[in-house]
């Protein structure tokens, strides 16, 4: 059947039906549709270009969200859970948008924290200050998906981490400092020696043995991996370090309720001052000086005049003030690393640390508060033992 015969059939059908209501209705619908299409084109041309660009960015962000979810499921070989994962992400999106509706997040960085749990790329695009920054975010994400990394940025983050570990007001515990120091040695000098030196064999359970054991646990790590693990270790343990060096990837919780609580804790952590460790150090010093002056005044003046006939009250109050002053003095001056090395072998301390290893901002804030109430190291391990290689290593 040729096109000429088809045209003859169509013309014959028109001659037979042109006087019927069906033909008239089809003609009117066609004319009306063309008129509405013309008006629709005019209306679309009146919409500003910024609206179309924003819609394109929104579509790109949603596409990136779906791509990240699909990539995670493919990596875990759980593609059959795609509907559940999409539903969970939609619930997260609803909860996080409800947080924005109550004006909890005020600045652009806080909005980025709220949206980053759904998709970090989508959050960075939506919180970009201009189109160039948004396009740069998408471009960097595409480069990362193909395996390209920003080596200069990674090196800057590693340098900042080394400098952070050498601060006298460092507020992370002994075990975390030991781990970070081992990662720094692995990044700077490679694998630890298999056999320790004769002097370190004699220090069984001491600081040198723990330091060498921690370094040997990093055996096999490459330089780039060790640098990344060091930065990740600090961002996961120190809330103030996250203010200086923000993490590249946000933290996400499995359950929506935990994710809802996690957002508020991350906002609280983000609003902490950058000099929080410095303030804590100053307050410890003031508390120690105040307690010392109060103890001396109580012993020399008040106790002799008010309770000269109550030796038990005087003894109890003097012992209490002395213990408080000693505790505040330990908080101010700290303890040597060798004492913490002895305490590390305690089983109940290890069990307590395992129970307090909460993930996310809740764990970081809790560890910071506990470290505030515990005597710090007199000198950070990065200064006392340093990241240098042991003597005799080739």
**pLDDT of res. 393:** 39
Taking only the tens place, the pLDDT of each residue in 347-380 is 666 666 666 677 778 888 888 888 888 888 888 8
pTM, full prediction: 0.67
Taking only the tens place, the pLDDT of each residue in 122-162 is 777 777 777 777 777 777 777 776 666 666 677 888 888 88
Average pLDDT, the chain: 76
Taking only the tens place, the pLDDT of each residue in 72-108 is 767 766 666 767 766 776 777 777 777 777 777 778 8
Taking only the tens place, the pLDDT of each residue in 178-200 is 889 889 988 888 888 776 555 44
Instruction: Measure the CA–CA gap between 215 and 179, rounded to whole angstroms.
Output: 8
CATH 3.40.605.10 for domain 151-258? no
CA-nearest of 117, 68, 112 to 256 is: 117
Contact of 96 with 118, CB cutoff 8 Å: yes
**pLDDT of res. 257:** 47
Q: Is the pLDDT of residue 203 over 50?
A: no
Residues 143-175 as b or e (16 or more Cβ within 10 Å = b): eeeeeeeeeeeeeebbeebbebbebebbbbbbb
Contact of 112 with 123, CB cutoff 8 Å: yes
Instruction: Measure the CA–CA gap between 212 and 390, rounded to whole angstroms.
Output: 9
> Which tokens belong to 210?
């723990």
- Domain chopping of the chain, boundaries: 49-145, 151-258, 276-378
Taking only the tens place, the pLDDT of each residue in 11-70 is 777 666 666 776 777 777 888 888 888 887 887 777 777 777 777 877 776 677 677 767
**What are 377's strand-pairing partners?**
335
Q: Is the pLDDT of residue 283 over 70?
A: yes
Contact of 362 with 262, CB cutoff 8 Å: yes
């Amino acid at each position: 059947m040729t096109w000429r015969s088809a045209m003859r059939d169509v013309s014959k059908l028109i001659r037979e039906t042109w006087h019927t209501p069906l033909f008239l209705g089809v003609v009117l619908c066609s004319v009306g549709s063309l008129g509405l299409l013309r008006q629709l084109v005019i209306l679309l041309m009146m919409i500003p270009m910024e609206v179309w660009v924003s819609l394109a960015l929104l579509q790109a962000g949603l596409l990136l969200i779906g791509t990240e979810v699909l990539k995670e499921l493919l990596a875990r070989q759980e593609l059959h859970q795609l509907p559940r994962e999409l539903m969970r992400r939609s619930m997260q999106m609803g909860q996080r948008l409800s947080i924005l509706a109550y004006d909890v997040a005020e600045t652009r960085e806080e909005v980025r924290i709220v949206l980053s749990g759904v998709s970090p790329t989508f959050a960075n695009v939506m919180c970009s200050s201009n189109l160039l920054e948004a396009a740069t975010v998408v471009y960097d994400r595409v480069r990362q998906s193909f395996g390209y990394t920003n080596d200069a940025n990674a090196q800057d983050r590693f340098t900042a981490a080394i400098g952070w570990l050498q601060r006298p007001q460092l507020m992370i515990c002994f075990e975390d400092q030991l781990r970070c120091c081992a990662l720094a040695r692995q990044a700077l000098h490679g694998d630890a020696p298999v056999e320790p030196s004769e002097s370190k064999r004699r220090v069984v359970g001491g600081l040198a043995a723990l330091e060498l054991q921690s370094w040997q646990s990093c055996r096999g790590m490459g330089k780039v991996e060790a640098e990344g693990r060091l930065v990740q270790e600090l961002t996961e343990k120190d809330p103030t370090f996250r203010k200086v060096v923000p993490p590249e990837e946000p933290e996400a919780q499995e359950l929506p309720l935990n994710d809802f609580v996690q957002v508020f804790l991350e906002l609280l952590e983000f609003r902490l001052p950058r000099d929080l460790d410095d303030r804590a150090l100053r307050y410890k010093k003031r508390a120690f000086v105040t307690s010392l002056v109060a103890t001396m005044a109580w012993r020399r003046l008040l106790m002799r005049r008010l309770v000269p006939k109550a030796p038990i009250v005087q003894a109890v109050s003097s012992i209490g003030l002395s213990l408080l002053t000693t505790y505040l003095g330990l908080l101010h001056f700290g303890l040597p690393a060798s004492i913490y090395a002895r305490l590390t072998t305690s089983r109940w301390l290890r069990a307590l640390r395992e129970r307090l290893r909460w993930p996310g901002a809740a764990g970081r804030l809790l560890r910071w508060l506990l470290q505030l109430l515990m005597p710090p190291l007199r000198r950070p391990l990065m200064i006392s033992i340093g990241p240098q290689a042991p003597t005799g290593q080739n």
